[in-house]
Every structure is written in structure tokens, then in C-alpha cells.
């Protein structure tokens, strides 16, 4: 697969946000930079909260012709008029989600650092696989996805790949030749000006 010279941007919402404020912050980032997809990644399992957040963000993203997917809750995706789902349990639910949502929906799969899970997800019908975190942190067991996995994947596998988790400008520059998308979330939302923070990462990718 010929990896694009410039990976596309894939924004991930914070696990918690204020519905009165965050849509404007997201809109500002989307207007400042070309973004391919947004993922609603709320920590809550409350269906009402998820539905209200999805309704508001869908207006923001679809007005700009940007896809909106939801983490894990694929049964909600179709009902809420979303473009698909991002599954966080490796390859396990890919076939079920694909069957339920149909061939046109986006079905992505987070596979942590596992090449095997990535290949299994691709074979099960995932539109993309996501690996990460891309840099060690103090969270979890400290494992992260090495550049070698992205390099191998981009050379051998046709399924698009997303690099996400603990991204820095330096790490982004290293991974540019080997990834199709950068998944970016807390790296920018924690900043005072998320659109500006996103710009700094985009500049590093150039």
C-alpha cells in the first residue's frame, strides 16, 4: 500500500466534556485544520448522555462533511445517524458490528500493540486498525507501539492504520512515513487553544 505523504487527522473527543462548550471548541479545530474523522469517546455508558452528545457533535461534523464515529456502542451508531463505530476490544466485535451496520458504515478496531489482533481485525472486515499508545507513559504497563510495527504494516497490509495515544510532535514526525491517520485527543484538548495545539502537531508532520 502506498501510504499518503501526509497522514490525515482523526480527532478523538475527551472522555468527559461540557455539551455547552465543547462543540464550539471542536468546531474551531475543524475549521482551522483539515480533519477526516471525529470519534465520540465519552467514558460514560449512559445512553441518554451519549445520545445528546452525539446529536450535538453530529451537527458540527456533518456540516463540515466530516465523519463521526462512536467508541464501542455500535448499536447506537445507526440509531443516532453516525457514520460508524470504533471498537476497543481488538478484533472480537468486528464481524458482529459489520453485520449489524452494513457495508457502508465505518468499522474501526483498536488493537493496542498487537500485530496479530490487527491482522485478525482486518480479515474480519475492519476499515482501519489503530495501534497505540505510540510512546511510553506512566499509565498501564508502559508498553507502546514501536515504529517497526507501523513500518511493517504500511508495507505489508492494505488496511489503513491509525497511530494514536501519547503523541508528541517528535513522535509524529517519526511516524509520518508509516501511518495513514493520526488519532489525536487529549494531546490538544488539555491545552488552552486546542486548534493551535493541533497546528503544532500538523507542522511537525510536514
Q: Render pLDDT for 92-121 as a digit per residue (tens, 0 to 9).
A: 999 999 999 999 999 999 999 999 999 999
Domain CATH code at residue 101: 3.20.20.70
What's the pLDDT band for 90 if we cut at 50, 70, 90?
A: confident
Asked whether residue 125 carries a pLDDT value surpassing 70, the answer given is yes
Residue 24 falls within a domain, yes or no? yes
Residue 173 falls within a domain, yes or no? yes
Nearest to 125 by CA among 143, 101, 151: 101
pLDDT of res. 140: 66
H helices of the chain, where? Answer: 22-32, 47-62, 74-79, 94-101, 115-124, 147-156, 169-175, 186-189, 194-205
Residue 2 falls within a domain, yes or no? no
Residue 185 falls within a domain, yes or no? yes
Residue 150 falls within a domain, yes or no? yes
Residue 96 falls within a domain, yes or no? yes
Name 109's bridge partners. 87, 129
pTM of the model: 0.95
Average pLDDT over every residue of 138-162: 91
Give the chain's domain count.
1
Which DSSP letter does residue 21 get?
T
Asked whether residue 134 carries a pLDDT value surpassing 70, the answer given is yes
Percent of all residues in the chain with a pLDDT value above 70, rounded to a whole number: 96
Residue 3 falls within a domain, yes or no? no
Residue 1 falls within a domain, yes or no? no
Contact indicator for 87, 72 with CB cutoff of 8 Å: yes
Name 84's bridge partners. 69, 106
Amino acid at each position: 500500500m502506498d501510504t499518503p505523504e501526509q497522514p490525515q487527522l482523526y480527532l478523538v473527543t475527551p472522555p468527559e466534556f461540557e455539551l455547552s462548550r465543547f462543540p464550539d471548541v471542536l468546531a474551531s479545530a475543524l475549521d482551522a485544520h483539515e480533519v477526516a474523522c471525529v470519534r465520540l469517546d465519552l467514558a460514560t455508558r449512559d445512553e441518554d448522555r451519549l445520545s445528546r452528545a452525539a446529536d450535538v457533535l453530529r451537527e458540527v461534523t456533518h456540516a463540515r462533511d466530516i465523519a463521526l464515529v462512536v467508541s464501542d456502542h455500535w448499536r447506537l451508531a445507526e440509531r443516532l445517524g453516525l457514520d460508524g463505530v470504533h471498537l476497543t476490544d481488538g478484533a472480537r466485535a468486528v464481524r458482529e458490528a459489520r453485520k449489524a451496520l452494513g457495508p457502508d458504515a465505518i468499522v474501526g478496531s483498536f488493537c493496542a500493540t498487537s500485530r496479530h489482533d490487527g491482522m485478525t481485525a482486518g480479515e474480519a472486515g475492519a476499515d482501519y486498525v489503530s495501534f497505540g499508545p505510540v510512546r511510553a507513559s506512566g499509565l498501564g504497563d508502559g508498553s507502546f507501539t514501536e515504529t517497526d510495527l507501523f513500518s511493517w504494516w504500511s508495507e505489508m497490509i492494505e488496511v489503513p492504520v491509525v497511530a494514536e495515544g501519547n503523541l508528541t510532535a517528535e513522535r509524529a514526525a517519526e511516524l509520518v512515513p508509516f501511518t495513514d491517520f493520526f488519532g489525536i485527543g487529549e494531546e490538544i484538548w488539555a491545552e488552552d487553544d486546542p486548534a493551535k495545539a493541533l497546528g503544532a502537531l500538523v507542522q511537525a508532520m510536514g
